[in-house]
Amino acid sequence: MRYTLITLIFIIILCIGLQGQSNDYLKQKNDKIEQGSIFTKIINRELPATIAYEDSEIIAFVPLRLQAPIHLLIVPKREIYTLNDASENDALLLGKMLLVAQKLAVEKGISESGYRISINTNEDSGQSVFHIHMHLLGGKPLGPMVTQE
């Protein structure tokens, strides 16, 4: 009985550790996933956005809060919640998103000065929309990726 309880506690602690996301974040994430993707609403023109690119699989638009003079979100029309949820089947799509980023960087005049592509994934990155997206950022020196401790 005692060993069973200890084993159970050990498994619970292990699961929490492996989960790696706080309960608050997981709750928010699940709620947002249940409510449906705001990016799909933009794709379906149920929400307004300044669209910079669109084809049958991918859309790119200006985010609500700019984090650099040039800031675009490159989003697949197919909903994939996070990069963790992408699979081999999505390899071509993810590659195409990078090429859209490249094209937009040329169009926005930042391909030579430089730019950054980032995909926030889960809590530590601050992912707040659970529909995979690439941030294209540029138009000024962006500084280090993360502040060194």
- Where on the chain is the footprint of ligand DGP (CB under 6 A)? 38, 47, 49, 61, 63-65, 73, 120, 126-129
Alpha-carbon distance 62 to 49, whole Å? Answer: 7
Q: How far is the CB of 7 from ligand DGP (least distance, A)?
A: 38
Sign of the torsion angle spanned by Cα atoms 84, 47, 25, 31: negative
Nearer residue to ligand DGP within complex by CB, 32 or 103:
32
Q: How far is the CB of 2 from ligand DGP (least distance, A)?
A: 45
Among the residues of the chain, which ranges form H helices?
2-19, 23-35, 38-43, 91-107
* 133 in active site: yes
Nearer to ligand DGP, 7 or 125 (CB): 125
The residue from 71, 131, 133, 135 that is catalytic is 133
Backbone φ and ψ for 122, nearest 5 degrees, come out as 70, -165
Identify whether the C-beta of residue 140 lies closer than 8 Å to the C-beta of residue 39: no
Considering the complex, what minimum distance in angstroms separates the CB of residue 78 from ligand DGP?
Answer: 17
The nearest distance, CB 127 to ligand DGP, in angstroms, is 4
What's the half-sphere exposure (Cβ side, CA atoms, 13 Å) at 142? Answer: 21
In this structure, are strands 58-61 and 51-54 parallel, antiparallel, or unpaired? antiparallel
Of the pair 60, 110, the CB lying nearest ligand DGP is at 60
Nearer to ligand DGP, 17 or 48 (CB): 48
DSSP state for residue 58 in the 8-state scheme: E
> Hey, which residues are catalytic here?
133
